[in-house]
Amino acid sequence: MRHAHDGTHPDANQRILELVARGEASSRSQLAEALGMAPSTVGLRVQALIDAGALHEGGPGASRGGRRPRELRVSQGRGEVLTVDLGGGHARLGRHALGGALIETRTIP
């Protein structure tokens, strides 16, 4: 079954990163299933993300009847995400690793 985010969609690499970062997919086969993409297309995109330093392979994952997959993880040192929480009388800024871990917060009154 094909979804809106197939191999021709310009946001496919971003979707791969999001799914891995959120823990919704940790292997190429899970990504192919979640995105409705061919496993070969997912493999090429994942390898490009590994080559760019955005993803890395961890240890072997749990087997689902075949060869054990290599677990995919977002590389922590390759970028950051900034978040903002605006309130009535303050602003709170957050700095996060790409994997979602909170690095720092600041509150501006």
pLDDT tens-digit profile of 13-65? Answer: 889 988 998 889 999 999 999 999 999 999 999 999 999 888 988 876 566 66
Q: Give residue 8's pLDDT.
A: 45
* Helix-helix angle 39-51:12-21, to 10 degrees: 80
Q: Quick check: helix, strand or coil at residue 84? A: strand
Q: Among candidates 106, 1, 41, 108, which has minimal Cα distance to 15?
A: 41
pTM given for the model: 0.63
